[in-house]
Structure 1
Amino acid sequence: MRKSALDPARATVGDVATAMFQVDSRLRQLHGDPVHESREYRHELARAFKTADPEQVVDGFCTLLYLLMKWLGEACETTGKDVAEEVVPYTVRCLTQMTRNIEREAVPTMGGMLVACTLGLSPTLWRRQYGPWTRGELTALEATAVLLAEQVNCWAGDPEAAGRLVLGALDEAHEQNGEEVR
C-alpha cells in the first residue's frame, strides 16, 4: 500500500518540549496553579522560548495535536465513541466562543487539522499545503493544543496526564533514536 504524502512519518516532529511547556503554562494559569506565578517558572518559560526556533515550536504544536488526538481517539474507542464526533465539534465550538483571542477565520483550519489527525494524517503536512501560517492561526493552534490537553486531563481524571503522555512519547522517541533522554 502506498504511503500518503501526509503520512506522519514524513513530518518533522518539531520542538515538542517547548510547545508542551507553553501548554502546561496555560493550563496552570487557567487553573490558578501558584507555580505559574513563580518567578523561576516564568524565567524558565521565557528562556525556553528565547532559545527556541519558532518554526520548530509550531511543528511541535502540530505534533502535540497529533499525539493528544491519538490518545483521545483510543479513549473514545474504548467507550464505543468516535473521536471525530466527540472531540472535534467540542474543540471547534470552544474556539468559536473565544471571540476575544481567536479569529473566526482560523477556526476552520483547526477543525481541518483535527480531522486530519483522526484520519491518521500529519496535521503539520496537512496545514503546510495551504502556505504560510497567519498570526491568527498560530494563536488558534496554541489554544487548540491547550483544549486537547485539558480534555486528556479531564478524561484521565488527572491534571498531569497530557504532560506525562507527551513526555513518555518524547522519551520513547529518544530511546528509539539512540539519543540521550533529558
Structure 2
Amino acid sequence: MNVASDSQSFENSSLDERTTPLISVPWETGTPRKILINLVRGGLIKKGSVLDLCSGTGSNALYLADNGSEVTGINLVSLVLENRDKSGSDYLKLPYINENFDLVLDLGCFHHISSRDRDTLIEEIFRVLNDGGHYLIVVSNYKNDPTWKPFSQREFNHYFSKNFKIKFIKHMPSIRADGAPQYFYAVLMQKR
C-alpha cells in the first residue's frame, strides 16, 4: 500500500466516500442511554429546557423531547470547526444566553476535551445552566484503556466541586455497538 497514492485517492474521493455514517461509529447505538432513561423515569430529570452537548444521532435528545422537554442539540466538534481561528479556548464558548437551560447533557464529550480547556467548558456549562440546574456527564473511568483518558472520582472533585454539588457518581459498564465492553462514570451534578 502506497501512502502517496492513498492520500491522492482520499483527496480525489467524494465527501460521501470519506465520511462514516454516524450510526455506524461504535459508540452510537441508536437508542437513548439507559442512565438517562432511568433518571427520567425516576423523576431525577424533569421536563425542561435541555442542552445536549454531543447530540450525535439525536437518540438522547429525541427521548427527552418525547418526554416533554425542549431540547437543543449541538456537537462540540461543529463548534470547534466554526471557531478554530479563535485564540486559546474561546472555541468552547457556547452560543447561548446565560441561565438558559435546566439540564446540560454531556454523554461522552468531556474526556475528549484537552485538559487545558476543560475549565473553560465547565465555566460555559455553569454559565448556561439555570440556578439549580443539572449537569449529567458520562465519562470514561479507570477500567478503560489509558488512551480513553479515564477519570477518577478525585478528578471530579477537582474539576466540578467549585460550581456543582455532586448528587451521585455511578459506575456504569456499557457495550458498544460493535460488542466491545466499555466502562464509564455517570455523574449527576446540580449547579450551586
Same fold (TM over 0.5): no
Whose radius of gyration is greater, 1 or 2? Answer: 2
Higher relative contact order (CA 8 A, sep 6+): 1
Q: Quick check: which one's strand share is greater?
A: 2
User: Normalising by the residue count of structure 2, what TM-score does the alignment of the two structures yield?
Assistant: 0.27
Determine which structure has the larger helix proportion and give its number: 1
